[in-house]
Chain A
């Protein structure tokens, strides 16, 4: 049977989470179809055709789909469902917002945030903030799943030549209108997808001090993250929160600065390859999972690290 992947995008480019989700789909079927619902997405459809693993790109291009209101997009997905054994979407706020509506429309229980695929009907997902791992099996007529992007490699974007199919927009009566989106502009890598993440916690004390972290991040070409405490205190926006109720990250290097390491935060970053913790409190639980711990005042340590990195760069160049 074929597998349908619902694309996350901004009407111009696919989000990298879509590429991770396609890799998950590869474990289920060779016949992967990518569904793109959006507005003025001709160029996006063309570029998506070259993804090697994708056999068919299905697009629904309509002005009402510009802002991806789930009440409008979910019936279109449900309408295609009978052709598929599995429907997958990234476990991002996009997928979380959308796919459970398909669950209601198809009367099928969705499996959220899978991190592994054992077979066609058996999946692995974390529960209790990743403090337990659950193996679940289902024999429903269709498998509906959101996929944790950091658990699957990004697929190749080139080398393919998928077929393209246009489907007709089905209108639904919707009472919700889009007002605005407040998106922080940054030249740094995307948090969910960066090779290095530098994260700050309550230890940073205020938003001005986060500039220290930005300087360090820029030296390392890193994304910036934050603990819930730092976001709640208004030091930085919610889109930077790493943890159970924020973003999941799994970079090669995660540097936790002034973060004590509540289990809810660890849930979002403990899959990182190398973890560094910098905290003046030697008892901070973050040290229990760190590969390298430095018990030090971050206001001294961070400028010193920046200086050391500069020195290294000088030696190399």
Chain B
């Protein structure tokens, strides 16, 4: 089985982001960037499938500028065999990302596609679902458990009501929740080894698809700040405040 993992480079989850002063977007220059967290779970799952002997080749794909090489190197340090960078200067919307991935998938012919359930920058939560529909492959979203046996795929999905268990088959597109696994840290020797693994670069303009933006961002602003509250001295004061000041109990 061949597994393809889609990876996005995003502002690190620990960074307190800043809105640009001209309200055109969020400051991403000189900010720590990392692998999108649930994409790390997707990488980890692919590496586990290889360790279990279920996958024989695992590859990662990212779309972005040259700097996105770093997340691909990270994925290879975690155990991915080789990577593909689709070079694009523009930020792509989920539909364009899915169309781009489909072209790579048509060429690479993986049996399984894994990615995070959402990117923590634009929080769209769309790409896996769109890709599944474009490929006409089964869709499994927000998975927290995966078992593959004889071409059968058993997944547990995290839904608002609890857990949903589905059975499907390969090829499939699965999007990973944070509880699917615990991503490993890349060891220093593996980071060194990853530098020698193959990283292919493809220019997005050579793919012949429309990746232009369909949505215009008019402005990006800071959310309203909450007014500073007070510290209460004890439980009695807290309950009194909630009852007679806030009037919420």
Contacts and interface: CB of A to CB of B under 8 A. Distances in A.
Interface string A175-199: 1111111111000000010001000
B26 A127 contact: yes
A100 B218 contact: no
A113 B123 contact: yes
Interface stretch (B75-83, B164-172, B198-206): B164-172
B129 A70 contact: yes
B246 A100 contact: no
B220 A177 contact: no
A22 interface: no
Could you say which interface size class chain B belongs to?
A: 35 or more
B185 interface: no
B177 interface: yes
Nearest to A221: B249
Interface stretch (A27-35, A54-62, A204-212, A287-295): A287-295
Given A109-B214, A127-B122, A135-B220, A101 B235 contact: no
A132 B162 contact: no
B218 A112 contact: no
Interface in B34-91: 38
A98 B126 CA distance: 9
A292 B138 contact: no
A239 B161 contact: yes
Contacts, number: 256
A312 B239 CA distance: 9
Interface stretch (B103-111, B189-197, B226-234): B226-234
B223 interface: yes
B163 A293 contact: no
B134 interface: yes
Nearest to A98: B129
A131 B42 CA distance: 25
Given A101-B139, A296-B235, A129 B120 contact: yes
Contacts of B232: 292-294
A131 B17 CA distance: 7
